[in-house]
Structure 1
Amino acid sequence: TKCFGHAPMVIILILLFLSFLDTSEQNVLAGRLARTPKVPCAKGQSCDPRLRRDAAGRGGVYEHLGGAPRRRKLYCATKYHLQIHPNGKIDGTLEKNSPYSIVEITAVDVGVVAMKGLFSGRYLAMNKRGRLYASDAYSEECEFVERIHELGYNTYASRPYRTVPNAASGVKRRASAEGLWYMSINGKGRPRRGFKTRRTQKSSLFLPRVLDNKDHEMVRLFHTNAKHRESILKTSNKNGRSRRGH
């Protein structure tokens, strides 16, 4: 009888002991969690890992932005390759392997790209008058809307500039139906002013071509051979002076 009388007390003591053990376990786990380092969020950056981006813009839903640039040659339907010269000139060449026809195309926004001459170090740009030029610094004038044409070519329209109906200036210009100002190279290898182009014209259709073996060799020599690099730049400067002389 005495044994049975002490049974409830023993059960209570066991339960209390187990409760203490549970609490200590919880404290240990809580301490471990508190010591676990948290990944800091950069200033102005979302802490949601699905939206987090690294310095290059990669990661999460932004994976398509800010990646490595595509090295291409922009072949116009007028049979000219677009060239970006160190002296700021933009034109076309019939030469298949011109160093100034190699460009780096980088996505800066959804459907928007910037194009930089690999050998010239200048960006393709269009000013407010619709003229193409090679800029030594990146700006909004270097941004182009890239679209795929029905014929398989690409079109590149200025992002900041387009024709606005009933402009306050009152200047009447023949513009494309969409009002977009397209990059173009005419049948003589010269760029046309953006507001005079249409997306259906051959001069505004471009095919981004991959580099061939000779192009890759030029790139390799440009980065590894100082004399080769200097000779290319000197040739470009000489041609630029002769053009200005005429």
Structure 2
Amino acid sequence: MIKKIYLSVFFLMLIIDCCQAQQLMQTTPQNSTLEQPQPFLYTISTLNPSGRNWSVNYSGGYGEHTVTPLGFDGVDQNISAKGYLGSKFTFLATLGTGFSNNGSVHTLEQAELLRDFIGGNQPMGFRIGAGLGFRHEFNNDNVAFSRITAAYDVMRWKIGANVRLEKAFATNRDGLDIVTSVGVHRHITGQFFGGFEAVGQDLEGFWETDEAEGGARLMVGPSINYAPTNSRFAFTLCGGPIIYATRSANTQGQFAAYRELPANNGFTLKFNVGFRFM
């Protein structure tokens, strides 16, 4: 009798464990969420080892009272290619066209090479990389930059962070610009992830009263990401207010017109559609 009771309890526990395992499989995001080449819009990272395939991304957006890299003052469209070159190297190239609110048309070109230096061997966990790049901005300035990247990927979380140092080859620009960004996504349901992205530009404006580009600027906004199961597509949407946190003396001077620095706080809204090749 006691053995029958033990067996009944054992089989009951086994059934409960199976039900819990099935429920966990249904609620846990699939591996495709780790294979996305570009889960964030502003925070770039090296490719996840589980998704080191070439991809093409189409992105666009609209902004008011904003400048690169936070956005474009008008409507912009961009197409980029991102892929793995081997030996932990990631390559990214972007072409963009902007239609400004004043009716003029501008172009942007950018190329960047990144490499993992810490981690990058396993799909999950931390990886830290660095790289160099060059950009021709919408306002025709040429900019060389270096980027330090950090990423943390697990089944329910995607976290990224960047520190970018930029040198613009133009008069009346900073000797060195500091741009930082951070993105956080958490699994919501199915293949949906949600969180936020934050970008800080010209942060030296917090301690330099004569910062050459008018002061520090911040953008913080919600971000959502969706990668359908068994699909090569992935979708990201992000946007938010742009806050001009500090004002330097140059904001009211001749340079403000040269840089087209907005006088008021603004906003930006951007989307990305990525297609991953086999």
Q: Flag whether TM exceeds 0.5 (same fold).
A: no
Structure in which a larger fraction of residues adopt helix: 1
Higher relative contact order (CA 8 A, sep 6+): 2
Structure in which a larger fraction of residues adopt strand: 2
Q: TM-score, normalised by structure 1?
A: 0.28
